[in-house]
Structure 1
């Protein structure tokens, strides 16, 4: 059985608000991950489609234009993610 002693380093979890630097004696705010862009867009798209279906406005939309707009959106997202990876 391995017992922890105070001189051993502790694990810093993501839910910690402040990370203390023992060497410098300073504290910096902990980084939190941002929202997932793909999940955010997919969720907002699902909400918009549901509202349009409930209001009856979805019946007057030409499916070909939906396909074109979806293709432009996916292409733009792929291009944006490619450029974003190169900057980091």
Structure 2
């Protein structure tokens, strides 16, 4: 189980450096912040490529700390109180 990722959480991009998640689910939020999913955007222009095999939000796998992006980056921050597969 890993922490779920929300809009505003940090990621590390090997091409552009550090940035944040900038898009997420319209209907699901934790602590007022949208939940990030596979296909959601990162500030560098990448999209989230990997996610949970057991938790879907609006038909897409939920993103977790440690999941990867289309630029080869990694989601490095998650919501510690909300763990998903």
* Alignment TM-score, normalising by the size of structure 1: 0.19
Structure with bigger helix share is 1
Radius of gyration: which is bigger? 1
Larger RCO (CA within 8 A; separation ≥ 6): 2
* Alignment TM-score, normalising by the size of structure 2: 0.19
Structure with bigger strand share is 2
